[in-house]
Structure 1
């Protein structure tokens, strides 16, 4: 009986840890793309390179909801351009869990981070702030 109780407790603890580290339920798509038109309506897009991947197709991460850790999508500290094609204000944070310095993008706003202190620094994204 004690072994069963221990096994149940261990499984319950593991499920709790996995739930705490699982990405949010945001719709996240990663594709190769270039230019602001690679970002679909309703999404905020983070581009791997400056000028919205002007040098040629590269990774574009499209989000339509909060993401606490961009490293879940292998995109931590990688964004060099951002497009907000959503209808919400979005804040992009330097640190995980919506902490640290942030930049704010209004609906329809775009920003090229090349040459800024925020280039390759984004770690989390929050919508509707």
Structure 2
């Protein structure tokens, strides 16, 4: 039993990026993130949504209010956002770099935004701010 636990702990440690602290390594619970299929252009109430293409097209992901994600690459969505909608009821921020580093951008509740060409495909992390 102790050997199994040690092997499991080693496997989990290998998944944490070098230099990341425990608070950065946490991936949200699966039910806190929803996949938005291509063709769906709305964001459900209580979620902030990132879309692959401009005008809320191309599919993407929705994050339940209060959810943070330190690296969008953990869900295969790093540097892919072109538009967003914030129907979470709270202010969010997205960042150019993983783990809430680099340039930061506000996402006010109730807004739907196509990002600027310079910001296109730059989002790497997201959290309430």
Give the TM-score taking structure 1 as reference length.
0.78
Match of 2:74, SS? Answer: helix
Work out the number of aligned pairs and report it: 119
Shift of residue 105 of structure 1?
A: 1.1
**1:11 to 1:33, Cα distance in 2 relative to 1, 3 A:** closer
Q: CA deviation at 1:48?
A: 0.6
Distance 2:51 2:3 in 1: 47
Q: Which residue among 20, 23, 28 is the counterpart of 2:33?
A: 28
Unaligned runs of 5+ in 2: 17-21
Between Structure 1 and Structure 2, which shows a larger proportion of helix residues?
1
Aligned-partner SS, 1:126: strand
CA RMSD of aligned residues (A): 2.5
- Superposed CA deviations along residues 50-103 of structure 1, whole A, max 9, x for unmatched, are 1111xxxx2221012101111111110000001000111000001100111011
Runs of 4 or more consecutive aligned structure 1 residues displaced over 3 Å after TM superposition: 4-12, 15-22, 33-36
What is the TM-score with the length of structure 2 in the denominator? 0.78
User: Which structure has the bigger radius of gyration?
Assistant: 1
